[in-house]
Chains A and B, each alone.
Chain A
Amino acid sequence: MLRSIIILTSMMLVLTAFVGMIINRRNLIVMLLCVEMIFLSANINFVYFSRFHQHVHGQVMALMIIVVAAAESAVALALMVLMYRQYHTVDSSKLVNIRG
């Protein structure tokens, strides 16, 4: 029962993130938030199954995912600041400079 709840929760988080990426495809901030949600759902699974199998290795993996997600957020936010300086918007449809 509990395992079903956790798997369903993480599955719903991933689905919500994918749907959010589709319906907010012009807004880079919300797209980045959706990526964070996908990382969170993966972490929930790692932590739950590490507890389920009585191994701590899953928690170590979750810690690494948190660190990588934080680094990814830092770089993505820096790029977004650059984009805002240049285009005065975070609309992804404005990024057409290298279109052939």
Chain B
Amino acid sequence: MIVPAIATISMLMILFANAVILLNHPVKSVLSLIACFLCASILWLIFGAEYLALVLIFLYVGAVMTLFLFMVMMMNVDSYTPDEQFTTKFSVMILTLTILVPCAIYGLSQLSNPSMISTDIASVKLSSKNESFTLFSSVLYQDYFWVIQIVGLILAVPIVLAAGIVKQGANTHVKQQKSSEQLAVRSNQRLTLVDTKQVRKKSC
């Protein structure tokens, strides 16, 4: 029962992954990737990694992919015209897969060792979900405590950096009052009023 379910979800995931690269509109591509992530989170739930499945949904689908979606929607992506047609894309994809899939099948045939099949996940007795979650939490906050702190720093620094980058770029397009330049201005740089009648008389 578990194997057909995993196979179906895997096929759906590959289908959505192909939709990501074949659809021309980036919004549709992002939506397909979201579907792909949801399939992956279902797979992880089946494998017993509930915490990671929830992190994938909340952090990735809920935050990062929504950010992607907002950014793509705010950009004028309709003006993007792909240089290759769908048939060209599809033919390139088929050609690449024709070369690479036999390599993959050969690699999988090497895995079909009878001594290794017996230890497959289907034959392993699954532990209860609470036990898995407790074990993961204890490993996370005991063995990997400092690593988690560093990872949090890695996550925080680029976000501040990204905000800084975007803000710096925004300053070039916004008119701002610069008091230092205003104080440094001289009388000959100020606005001068010209009597046009006198100027015309002089020119005549």
Could you give 13 example pairs across A and B, Cβ below 8 Å? Answer: A2-B3, A16-B21, A23-B92, A51-B124, A56-B136, A63-B55, A70-B59, A71-B157, A73-B64, A77-B162, A78-B165, A84-B75, A85-B170
Q: Is the CB of A78 within 8 A of B162?
A: yes
Q: When chains A and B are docked, how far (Å) is the Cα of A91 from the Cα of B93? A: 21
Chain A residues with CB under 8 Å of chain B are 1-9, 11-13, 15-20, 22-24, 26-27, 29-30, 32-34, 36-37, 40, 43-44, 47-48, 50-52, 54, 56-57, 59-60, 62-64, 66-75, 77-82, 84-86, 88-91
- Residues of A contacting B132 with CB < 8 Å? 56
Q: Is the CB of A56 within 8 A of B135?
A: yes
Q: Is the CB of A37 within 8 A of B158?
A: no
Could you count the A-B residue pairs with CB atoms below 8 Å apart for me: how many are there? Answer: 215
Task: Of the listed stretches B41-49, B175-183, B185-193, name the one at the interface; the rest are far from the partner chain.
Answer: B41-49
Chain B residues with CB under 8 Å of chain A are 2-3, 6-7, 10, 13-14, 17-18, 20-21, 26, 29-30, 33, 36-37, 40, 43-44, 47-49, 51-52, 55-56, 59-60, 63-64, 67-68, 71-72, 75-77, 79-80, 82-84, 88-89, 92-93, 96-97, 100-101, 104, 107-108, 111-112, 117, 119-122, 124, 132, 135-136, 139-140, 143-144, 147, 151-152, 154-155, 157-159, 161-163, 165-166, 169-170, 173
